[in-house]
Amino acid sequence: MQYRTLGRTGIKVSPYALGTMMFATSFGNPDPDDSARMLHKALDAGINFIDTADAYGDSEDVVGKALESCRDDVVLATKFGRPVDANPHHQGASRRWIVTAVENSLRRLRTDHIDLYQVHRTDPGTDIEETLSALTDLLRSGKVRAIGTSQSLASDIVEAQWVAERRGLARFRTEQSAYSILNRGVEREVFPLAQRFGMGTLIWGPLGQGLLTGRVRKGGENDLRRAPLLRHLTDERRLDVVEELVPLAAEAGLPMTHLAMAFVIAHPGVTSALLGPRTMPQLDDLLTGVEVRLTDDVLDRIDEIVPPGTNVGALDQNYQPPAVADPNLRRRPLAERAAA
């Protein structure tokens, strides 16, 4: 396994990271011991970067228990910000919640520090200065070693960097974005900004949230467990693109999963891409692709199918800022909508 530097933190991480959302027993793998075996198999393969979140059910508990014997051998990342229950105070990026959330995560993870602590979603209701101030205190206390964001808009990245410099606060060192052959929009601004500010980038959804596994075909049966819940898995535009990628993968002599993963980590703006297996066979399949390198010819063909910087449809789980998600912020009152 080769290792890459996580932005300018000096931390060395593997190009593949292990995402553990599916380690949650309530909606992922119901057997924590099996998840622990997957985690250790990933470590044996050279993966040293583990990512979880407090909103992933009991994933932090499962990960913490599995890492008790080898905590110092991994770069451990978790996230806060998304709701963890019905209490409206148990979410967001306020100082009030951050100081509580980090203690909860440390306890569940059975550790005294978190290597990378990430804001799971932008919190429009909290001033970024308050968030950075609280995170700076965690860094100074030693409970957190680096801080990052997830699903940030380019403008949010710039604002956070500007506020950190102006106020003498810690800077976000990483950004975690959705990126795949089907969703290349972050190539336009987010990746160049991250590179400019020396931020490492983590990628979630490199398999198109299931569409690039080879298991989903147009007109065929869709056996993915999430299919009834996620619209993008039945989006005709996305399925049409998959049908163009299938023969390309076959010509390259690759399974679709290997084509998709190799594409993502080939981008110079990408530090590490998250594998999100639920079962051991899924992990085994992904690990057999660690040596795949896509040639320029294959990458050129992908560019023809999905032009750089563009998205084919949208992921259901993608962050939508209030200005887009709230109709009241993009529609004048009815009486004011006419020109006269």
pLDDT more than 90, % of the chain: 86
**Cα(2)–Cα(48) distance, rounded to whole angstroms?**
11
> Mean of the pLDDT values across residues 182-198?
97
Determine contact, residues 80/105, Cβ cutoff 8 Å: yes
Backbone angles phi, psi at 240, to 5 degrees: -60, -40
Mean pLDDT of 60-79: 97
Q: Choosing from 16, 56, 117, 179, which is the catalytic residue?
A: 56
Give residue 208's identity as a one-letter amino acid code: G
Residues 6+ apart with CB under 8 A from 193: 154, 157, 158, 199
**pLDDT over 60 at 225, yes or no:** no
The model's confidence at residue 224, banded by pLDDT at 50, 70 and 90, is low
Q: What's the first-to-final CA gap in the chain, in angstroms?
A: 66
Q: How far is CA 340 from the centre of its chain?
A: 47
Does the annotation count 56 as an active-site position? yes
Q: Give the model's confidence band at 315: pLDDT under 50 very low, under 70 low, under 90 confident, else very high.
A: confident
Q: What percent of the chain has pLDDT over 70?
A: 96
pLDDT at 229 over 60: no
Q: Collect all residues with Cβ–Cβ distance below 8 Å to 66 and sequence separation of at least 6.
A: 32, 35, 36, 39, 40
Question: What confidence tens digit (pLDDT) does each residue in 238-295 have?
Answer: 999 999 999 999 999 999 999 999 999 999 999 999 999 999 999 999 999 999 999 9
Encoded tokens for 141: 């206390």
Q: Where are the alpha helices (DSSP H) in 53-176?
A: 59-66, 95-109, 128-141, 154-167
Min mean pLDDT across 2-16, 135-149, 214-228 is at: 214-228
Q: For all residues of the chain together, what is the average pLDDT?
A: 94
In this predicted model, which residue has the larger pLDDT, 226 or 199?
A: 199
On the question of pLDDT at 220 being above 70, the answer is no
**Contact call for residues 120 and 175 (beta carbons, < 8 A):** no
Tokens of 171: 């800077």
Closest CA to 54 of 11, 18, 95, 103: 103
- Rounded distance, CA 192 to CA 186, Å? 9
Q: What are 110-120's pLDDT values in tens digits?
A: 999 999 999 99
Q: Give the residue carrying structure tokens 């599995």.
A: 66
Using pLDDT thresholds of 50, 70 and 90, give the confidence band for residue 323. Answer: confident
